[in-house]
Structure 1
Amino acid sequence: MIVSGRHPRRSSADIRRHYCPLPESDVVVIDGMRVTSLERTVYDVVRTVSLEAAVVVFDAALRSVAWDDETRTYDEAAAERFRTAIRERVRAHSGARGIRQARFVTEFADGRAQLAGESIIRLWCYQLGLPAPELQYRVNFADGGYALLDLCWPALRRWLEFDGLFKYTDAELMAGRSVEEVFADQKSRELRVRAATGWDCDRCGFAEARTIADFADFLRGIGMYPFIG
């Protein structure tokens, strides 16, 4: 939210206040409130938060402009237009705080990541020296159906699904199903993918990915780390 002039109150645990010149072109109105535009918000945030959080934010922004939930497709051109806009801001402020991180995240971000957890473990895969996974990799079934795999390594013949608790608690995603039915559908999908590809599926949640060290232990347990190409 934007407030003109300096506010007498300071930042708190729940509210962060930043004071800086803001051109009107960086201001939009949403639900009656003046806020920074998506481009400006992403540019500011990716310079000032942790690397993991920066990737999550940029991935989410790309997803909002390029991912179509109805067709389950990703508009590469739309994503590149947004990336280019942030890239230009980064180039124009080469000495700004956090600009090195912003430069990396601008090139690394991928809006095909559907969840924060997917964004984080993709970053950690990079930091741990694993090959880059393909996101939302499409597997076609003989009956005309298909599945999109969270993170996939076709050359390694394996894929990784990130299981957040929301899958079993979010009413919209559960679509009237019980937790048991969600598990059953999930298992059926996994078996169909395995039948179509012969690839192994590994599942990871926040319990296995609290830290990069935890995630490395998980990868070690499934034989993917350290990676030997």
Structure 2
Amino acid sequence: MHPDVYVGSAVDVDAYVRVRALRVWSRGDGIVAGPLAAAAWDAECPWEDSELIVPEHARAPAPDVRPRVGELPLDEVALLFDAWVTTPVRTAFDLARRPPLVDAVAAVDALAFVCRLSVDDLRVLVDRHTGARGIVQVRRVLELMDPLAESCMETRTRLALVLRGVPAPVSQFEVVLPSGKRARLDLAWPHAKVAVEYDGPEHRTITGQNRDAFRNEGLDELGWDVVHVTSAMVLDPRAADRLAARIGRKVGRG
């Protein structure tokens, strides 16, 4: 795992194992932070590196560890997996400082959704660490974050539209179908009855396709215009331009 830190070859190297390995390597002096801390809190993250906050006297860093010298207030760390890990809100604050902006918002949204964080929770740390590196981006992340986003790709889909001038949608908007069942729409503009659904792998299974077909039939009866998008339509800049123009025409520009 790290110099002088080993694990059995049959062990599933998950967040628990990675955190414990860093604890052993740092001899208990380090605080797990960044993407690995997010994974420890069971949140999705665009990055996968191991970040460790260490005191000045800590041993030389391993080549696969991203060290950061410093100390944190006691209320910004927690004991998890018998190791010191940044709290969810401190983890979100640290990830909000990382470029690029869209990935930072996606990381913060994921933590906010899993750990029930609010904009005000992060604002406390912004006010506490006004001179921190990347604080300007953190403030922008606060403007763009949405704790209701259920995946990083939902965040990327929303930002692909909003950053191109489309009015901010309502996330996870609930609609009662004619059948009496309830449907939650990833992104919705209720005034225009327009919705955008991000179709991940689960939507491409037979079960997912059938579920979507029945739901779309009910939404169509209610007058909803549902636009299904894929990763290629969001991640390719020219495709995202076309998508934003299309949705903008349907819902009106902000």
**2:90 counterpart of 1:65:** no
Cα distance in 1 for residues equivalent to 2:179 and 2:250? 36
**Deviation of 1:83 (Å):** 2.4
Matched pairs, number: 202
- Structure 1 residues 110-138: Cα deviation after superposition (integer angstroms, max 9, x where no partner): 11111111111212222111111111111
Cα distance in 2 for residues equivalent to 1:215 and 1:46? 23
Q: Answer whether contact 2:233 2:243 (CA < 8 A) is retained.
A: yes
Cα distance in 2 for residues equivalent to 1:186 and 1:225? 22
**Deviation of 1:162 (Å):** 0.2
SS of 1:156's partner is coil
Aligned-residue CA RMSD (Å) = 2.4
- Number of the residue aligned with 1:115: 151
Distance 1:39 1:126, change over 3 A: same
From 18, 36, 41, give the equivalent of 2:86. 36
SS of 1:21's partner is coil
List aligned pairs for 1:205-220, cutoff 5 A.
205-220=230-245
Cα distance in 2 for residues equivalent to 1:112 and 1:94? 27
From 187, 195, 198, give the equivalent of 2:213. 187
SS of 2:233's partner is coil
SS of 2:220's partner is helix
Cα distance in 2 for residues equivalent to 1:106 and 1:203? 27
- Number of the residue aligned with 2:123: 87
Distance 1:51 1:151, change over 3 A: same
**Deviation of 1:44 (Å):** 1.0
**Deviation of 1:160 (Å):** 0.6
Q: Answer whether contact 2:119 2:142 (CA < 8 A) is retained.
A: yes
Distance 1:223 1:58, change over 3 A: closer
Q: Answer whether contact 1:219 1:225 (CA < 8 A) is retained.
A: no
Task: Structure 1: state its 5+ residue gaps.
Answer: 67-78, 169-178
TM-score normalised over the length of structure 1: 0.78
- Number of the residue aligned with 2:33: none
Cα distance in 2 for residues equivalent to 1:58 and 1:86? 10
Cα distance in 1 for residues equivalent to 2:153 and 2:207? 23
| Residue identity opposite 1:161 in structure 2 | E
**Deviation of 1:149 (Å):** 0.5
Q: How many percent of aligned residue pairs carry the same amino acid? A: 28
Cα distance in 2 for residues equivalent to 1:228 and 1:132? 10
